[in-house]
Structure 1
Amino acid sequence: MVVGDASLDIDTLVIGAGPGGYVAAIRAAQLGQKVLIVDKSELGGVCLNRGCIPSKALISAAHQFEAAQHGEAFGITAENVKVDFSKTQEFKSGVVKKMTSGVAGLLKGNKVEVFQGECMFINQNEARVFNDHESPRYRFKNCIIATGSRPIELKAFPFGGRILSSTEALNLPEIPKSMVVIGGGYIGAELSQMYAKFGTKITIIEGLDTVLPGFDKDMTSLVAKNMKKSGMEIFTNAKAESAEQTDKDVTVKFSVGGEAKEVTAEYLLVTVGRRPNTDGELGLDLIEMELDDRGLIKIDHQGRTNIPHIFAIGDIVAGPALAHKASYEAKVVAEVIAGESSVIDYKCVPAVVFTDPECSSVGYTETEAKEKGYKVSAGKFPYAGNGRATSLNNTEGFVKIVADEETGLVLGSQIVGLEASNMIAEMGLAIEMGATLEDLALTIHAHPTLGEIVMEAAELVMGHPIHVIAPRKK
């Protein structure tokens, strides 16, 4: 505890301990900085505690439950397959605890000082951190703001009772019989399919013309087909208007093409995006931090704000709200602070959705590449032409590669299907290193693996595929 009001000196103050903040703190410490990291909640932030990790644990459990019920194609049948959801939640909590404990160990091992509490700027060079027991004041040479985001709360659908944000939806004590989901983006789609696999009757209300807006429609159509196959009801181009809840259920009124509709379910989940945590008690206005009209902090190509020694990363700056984007930015700004000439380059930030089937994308889509002025060569190789996918009885999906027709340079890729989340890494590396279609085609991929589909897709775009019939290129 600090006596009086003297300031303690540190090199770098990191505000927020999510996948942006804790990575920044570790890298800054590795580069010789004396680092303090402050977070009012748990180490690991939303991603490890209330987002990426717990949702994937529950999604994995849902896949296991579904697989146990549907093994007929392999000659396997099981009767009376049940879910003890309390144990499922215990598994999820165990995964979260293991991951957050790991972060604590990494911070300690890198000699990063950790303070659990609030942080408030006093001026552009000092901040006070405080909790119920102490309130030291720190003078910093550099600061990295990584305060993340929170679910957007709609005025007509305030969180509470049977109206849930994603946080509450991940912590339900029992599998609900029914649920309405407002918003068919990646969070809504993932959680909807997860609960549907557990047996919940799902109704999705989406304002745009498709679920997973922003992804290639050839990809989203496969996801929508599986959603409907599992009994989910999807309303697109729909407008949610109001909700009325009792102690047992909630009734949602909405309209589609001017036609009034309503649906009643045990819960209403609202997943319409996330809001940056740049308001509140941090004191950004006090230090005259520049924000845009969405509340995002303005930064340059090195993550630097309008205050040269203060940096911002993650969900509070422009770009997709993705954990791996935040971690990438974290390493860049830590290196910039250490005097290195690092810059942020978003060319290879992958987007992944853990739906069924999984969807992933990196680099340009075919449309984006054409808009950038490229003469494009593109093609899709189906999972159905792959031996490993066939042996897994999971042949739904494709790998698409987008390339420059003149040079063969790989510009982008979209993958939908089994393990798309892992397979996109090879395509990200290809774009990052400036690989061509020929580089991918000449890389020997082990057989039988799903990874072969990348090689086959490259050969397809070049005009000489082996395992599908396609017109030859001149």
Structure 2
Amino acid sequence: MVVGEIPIDVDVAVLGGGWAGTAAALAAAGRGKQVVLVDAHGPGGRSFQEIYGPLRALQAAVEPAWRLRAPPFTALHREPFQLDWTTLRGWVQASVQEQVRRLADQMEEAGVEWVHGRGSFAGERELRVESEHGLLRYHFERAVIATGARPDASALRAGKFLTPTDLLALETLPERLAIQGGDELSLELAVLCAKLGVQVTLHMPPGQTLLPGWELDAQEMLRDGLAGLDVTVVAGPPDETDAPTVITGPLAPAIDALGLDAVNVHTDPAGFIRVD
């Protein structure tokens, strides 16, 4: 028998192994459903393994060290307290891999079938997966699309740009860094890099405030906190001479090559899935 010749019947097929896809898969399995989860990046998906996992681990490591720079802890060390980025990156990678392993164990215990590969719809209730074991076919009753989004490359002007993934994977941190955007991820990266000794400038889109939609008092407290870290907040995009620049948005849906037409799912002009 050729792999993929006979389809496998499942109740729920989940495309995307990030937080949303993982939560959906575990919830369905907890209700006794037979679930397959497909992702090309392994447990946690790309967003956790490359962005939020490393970011949370770095925050957990940097915050205690940052407190040692302030009184009364300054009496405990003579030289300016610094973290070794190379050693820190190694610890972060090990921490993320441990969390990925635990997540894989959790899904196995819940009975979720994890498939490392890329899936696309081939019919109204058929999913084809190009996996490490060859082509697999699944017949499903329900499907969940949770493939997330990524920075829209078409929106980036010429210059040296980094995605959050690129920044967290650097072997050496830059002395200066420009971050474009005022959303939660931009602010978390700005605070983290400032505490690691990077001179950070946060560039806000014209007319946009920090954390749009938040109360004004909270925004003012945030500005004061950034000023205390020597983070400069300016309006407008970075100059051509600013380097490098981290872009956290705008985001484009990661739905290319999913075969959405086969399941009668359509997108709007911006590329987002239409919902009823």
Report if TM-score (shorter chain) is over 0.5. yes
CA distance in 2 between counterparts of 1:105 and 1:4 reads 26
Q: Which has the higher contact order (CA 8 A, sep 6+)?
A: 2
CA distances 1:201-258 after superposition (whole Å, capped 9, x unpaired):
111111134222222121111111222232222112x2x2xxxxxxxxxxx42xxxxx
On the 8 A contact 2:119/2:128 being kept in 1, the answer is yes
Q: Which runs of 5+ in 2 are unaligned?
A: none
Distance in 2 separating the partners of 1:199 and 1:87: 16
Q: Measure the CA separation in 1 of the matches of 2:168 and 2:264.
A: 37
1:187 aligns with 2:185: yes
Q: CA deviation at 1:150?
A: 1.3
Q: Which has the higher helix share?
A: 2
The question of 1:268 aligning with 2:245 is answered yes
1:228 is aligned to: 227
TM-score (norm 2): 0.90
Taking structure 1 as the reference length, what is the TM-score of the superposition? 0.54
Structure 1 residue 290 and structure 2 residue 238: aligned?
A: no
Q: Is the 8 A contact 1:181 1:205 kept in 2?
A: yes
CA drift of 1:180 comes to: 1.0
Aligned to 1:375: none
Q: Is 2:4–2:134's contact at 8 Å kept on the other side of the alignment?
A: no
How big is the shift at 1:184? Answer: 2.1
Q: Distance in 1 between matches of 2:45 and 2:60?
A: 21
Task: Check the 8 A contact 2:57/2:92 in 1, yes or no.
Answer: yes
Distance 2:230 2:61 in 1: 19
SS in 2 for 1:187: helix
Find the residue that maps to 2:68 and give its secondary structure: helix
Question: 1:37: Cα distance to partner?
Answer: 1.1
**Within 1, Cα distance between the matches of 2:109 and 2:174?**
42
Q: Which residue of 2 aligns with 1:36?
A: 36
Contact 2:54–2:93 under 8 Å retained in 1: yes
Q: Quote the residue 2:210 is aligned against.
A: 211
Q: Secondary structure at the match of 2:63?
A: helix
Percent identity of paired positions between Structure 1 and Structure 2: 27
Instruction: Go from structure 1 to structure 2 and tell me whether the alpha carbon gap of 1:75 and 1:107 turns closer, same or farther (over 3 Å shift).
Output: closer
CA separation of 1:158/1:139 partners in 2, compared to 1, >3 Å: closer, same or farther? farther
Answer yes or no: is the 8 Å Cα contact 1:2–1:135 preserved in 2. no
Give runs of aligned pairs for residues 201-350 of structure 1, distance below 5 A: 201-207=199-205, 208-236=207-235, 238=236, 240=237, 252-253=238-239, 263-265=241-243, 267-278=244-255, 280-299=256-275
- 1:58-110 Cα offsets, whole Å, 9 max, x none, are 123332232111123x7855322221111211222122112111111011112
User: Where do residues 53-452 of structure 1 align in structure 2 (5 Å cutoff)?
Assistant: 53-72=53-72, 76-80=75-79, 81-157=81-157, 162-207=160-205, 208-236=207-235, 238=236, 240=237, 252-253=238-239, 263-265=241-243, 267-278=244-255, 280-299=256-275
Please give the per-residue CA displacement for 1:315-336, whole angstroms capped at 9, x wherever unaligned: xxxxxxxxxxxxxxxxxxxxxx
What secondary structure is seen at the aligned counterpart in 1 of 2:138?
strand
The alpha-carbon deviation at position 18 of structure 1 amounts to 1.2
- For residues 271-306 of structure 1, give each alpha carbon's deviation from its aligned partner in whole angstroms, at most 9, with x where no partner exists: 22422222x111012322033343333445xxxxxx
SS of equivalent to 1:37:
strand
Q: Name the stretch that deviates more: 291-300 or 145-154.
A: 291-300
- In the superposition, relative to structure 1, how do residues 133 and 37 fare at CA in structure 2: closer, same or farther (>3 Å)? same
Check the 8 A contact 1:128/1:138 in 2, yes or no: yes
Find the residue that maps to 2:77 and give its secondary structure: coil
| Aligned mates of 1:104, 1:88 — CA distance in 2 | 24
Structure 2 CA distance, aligned partners of 1:271 and 1:133?
35
2: CA distance, partners of 1:119 / 1:273: 25
Could you say what secondary structure the match of 2:201 adopts? strand
Tell me the distance in 2 between the aligned counterparts of 1:134 and 1:98.
Answer: 27
CA contact (8 A) 2:15 2:39 kept: yes
Note the C-alpha offset of 1:47.
4.1
Relative to structure 1, the CA distance from residue 171 to residue 3 in structure 2 (aligned partners, 3 Å threshold; closer, same or farther) is: closer
Q: Distance in 1 between matches of 2:186 and 2:4?
A: 49
Deviation sequence 1:328-381 (CA, Å, 0-9, x none): xxxxxxxxxxxxxxxxxxxxxxxxxxxxxxxxxxxxxxxxxxxxxxxxxxxxxx
Residue 153 (structure 1) shift: 2.6
SS in 2 for 1:38: strand
Aligned to 1:414: none
| 1:188 maps to amino acid | S
